[in-house]
Amino acid sequence: MAGYNHIHLEELEELAKGNSQFMTRMLSACCQQLPGLLDQLESALRDHDVELIKRTSHRMAPTFHYLGRKDLGEVLEALENYTEPESVLNEKAAALLTEARHVLSDACEALKTIQQ
Amino acid sequence: MQCLIIDDDEMVRIDLENRISRMPGLQLAASCATATQGAGILMGNKIDLIFLDIQLPDMDGLQLLDTLTSQRPSIILVTAKKEHAARAFDYEVTDFLVKPFSDDRFMKAVMRASRQRQNGSSNGATADHIFVRVNSVLEKISLSDILYVEAMADYVQIQGTKQRYVVHSTMKAIEQSLDPNRFFRVHNSYIVRLDKISRIEDNCVVIGDKVIPVSRAKIKTLLSQINMLKGQ
């Protein structure tokens, strides 16, 4: 399955080994859990709630690895560990949130395509 | 082996369920998101192997291990953070998978758990030797003496530091007898001792004077097994 700008499904397809039910379950789980996590991260960043930022980042990172977005997983790891100055992290987090919503949109689109 | 998955990430649970369903000898008993649910399942079911996340919403996964009694299942920790490895050693877990992990790495962890259970110990160390039949004699070979193993039709040749042994066996049987943390099957016809590799080049590893081919599919896993300088 190809043609998405913000996700790369090769990793999931490799894990699926032709099992379309697995693809459906994974994408469906992503579309269910990611909106809440994105909202949670956005609100934690707004409130400077460092503990919640770390916890939510940790929770979200594997999702992006599965969707072929290791780059976003790495930003989340930086947020989880606070390895960079806060101003840099805030800038990266803002860009991440925008991109992550595109990722979510592509993932849900891919799910619809599989289910058709 | 009856397996239990405890991980709060649904995608990780589905991934593990899928891998378990493809692995002969493993049956999924249950899958849950919290340590509390896991503890409940453990009370009412015979579980042989737990895939356990460390950062759970209600409790640290390792704290759950404190509550388990002597008949403890084998534990494979599944986590995104390598930093937990040191603590994991204190809990004598069977293996430690860092997300995302390959099929090879997953299989290796499961084989390790399986061997430990066959040896009647969920947390014991792997044996430091194997006995092989050479002609009509059972020879004891220390694992620290083995450099590599090579397939030869119906036989395998075990190359030691001083001696070589030709044994009527299969690569699979030999592979299952060796410690997966120290030995790795780089090719259908070769198993190598990881700490004896002196060079890796052009899809080959070099041990002493011997140049050993590495299957293309094994390169990535091999590189994850060796102690490589970070950032390269």
- Residue B11 has its nearest CB partner, among A16, A58, A62, at A62
Q: What is the 3-state secondary structure (H, E, C) of A75-112?
A: HHHHHHHCCCCHHHHHHHHHHHHHHHHHHHHHHHHHHH
For residues B63-78, give the mean pLDDT: 81
Q: What is the pLDDT of residue A40?
A: 95
Say if residue B200's pLDDT is above 60.
yes
CB contact at 8 A, B160 and B129: no
- Residue A30 has its nearest CB partner, among B11, B81, B99, at B11
For residues B153-177, give the mean pLDDT: 87
Q: Tokens in use for B70?
A: 């002597």
- As a whole number of angstroms, the distance between CA A103 and CA A64 comes to 8
Q: What is the DSSP letter of B157?
A: E
Q: What is the pLDDT of residue B45?
A: 85
A interface residues, B as partner, C-beta within 8 Å: 11, 15-17, 19, 22, 25-26, 29-30, 32-33, 55, 58-59, 61-63, 65-66, 77
Query: Shortest Cα distance from B180 to chain A (angstroms)?
Result: 23
The ipTM of this complex is 0.91
Judged by a CB distance cut-off of 8 A, whether residue B80 touches chain A is yes
In percent, how much of chain A has pLDDT > 70?
Answer: 98
Q: What is the mean pLDDT of chain B?
A: 85
Output the DSSP codes for B113-127.
HHHHHHTT-SSPPPP
Q: Number of residue pairs across A and B with CB atoms under 8 Å?
A: 42
Is A62–B18 a contact, with Cβ atoms under 8 angstroms apart? no
Say if residue B122's pLDDT is above 70.
no
For residues B56-67, give the mean pLDDT: 85
Reported confidence tier of residue B123, pLDDT bands at 50, 70, 90: very low
A interface test, pick of B5, B7, B15 with most A CB neighbours within 10 Å: B15
Q: What is the mean pLDDT of chain A?
A: 90
Is B18–A16 a contact, with Cβ atoms under 8 angstroms apart? yes
Task: Give me the long-range contacts of B102-108 (CB less than 8 A, separation at least 24).
Answer: B102/B220, B102/B221, B102/B224, B103/B19, B104/B218, B104/B221, B105/B221, B105/B224, B106/B19, B106/B23, B107/B23, B108/B180
Q: What angle do CA B147, B151, B152 make, to 5 degrees?
A: 125
Reported confidence tier of residue A38, pLDDT bands at 50, 70, 90: very high
Is A19–B18 a contact, with Cβ atoms under 8 angstroms apart? yes
pLDDT tens across A12-28, in order?
999 998 898 999 999 99
Q: What is the pLDDT of residue B127?
A: 61
Task: Name which of B44, B90, B83 is nearest B63 in CA terms.
Answer: B90
In percent, how much of chain B has pLDDT > 70?
Answer: 92
Residue A46: other Cβ atoms inside 10 A: 8
Reported confidence tier of residue A1, pLDDT bands at 50, 70, 90: low
- As a whole number of angstroms, the distance between CA B161 and CA A44 comes to 59
CB contact at 8 A, A40 and A34: no
Q: What is the pLDDT of residue B117?
A: 79
pTM: 0.66
Higher pLDDT, residue B43 or A112: A112
For residues B5-10, give the mean pLDDT: 95
Q: What is the DSSP letter of B72?
A: P
Judged by a CB distance cut-off of 8 A, whether residue B25 touches chain A is no
Higher pLDDT, residue B227 or B202: B202
Phi-psi region of B4 (alpha: psi -120 to 50; beta: other; left: phi over 0): beta
Reported confidence tier of residue B90, pLDDT bands at 50, 70, 90: confident
- Residue B11 has its nearest CB partner, among A16, A58, A66, at A66
The residue type found at A69 is R
For residues B11-15, give the mean pLDDT: 96
Q: Which residues of B touch A8 (CB under 8 A)?
A: none
Q: Which residues of A touch B11 (CB under 8 A)?
A: 26, 29-30, 33, 62-63, 66
Say if residue A79's pLDDT is above 80.
yes
For residues B115-128, give the mean pLDDT: 62
Say if residue B186's pLDDT is above 60.
yes
Q: Tokens in use for B201?
A: 């080049």
Task: Name which of B191, B183, B187 is nearest B218 in CA terms.
Answer: B187
The residue type found at B83 is E
Q: What is the pLDDT of residue B229?
A: 59
- List alpha helices for B24-122, DSSP H: 35-44, 61-66, 85-90, 103-118
Higher pLDDT, residue B38 or B137: B38
For residues A32-49, give the mean pLDDT: 93
Is A32–B10 a contact, with Cβ atoms under 8 angstroms apart? yes
Task: Name which of B96, B112, B81 is nearest B184 in CA terms.
Answer: B112
For residues A82-103, give the mean pLDDT: 86
Reported confidence tier of residue B125, pLDDT bands at 50, 70, 90: very low
pLDDT tens across B33-50, in order?
999 999 889 888 889 999
Say if residue B230's pLDDT is above 90.
no
Residue B232: other Cβ atoms inside 10 A: 5
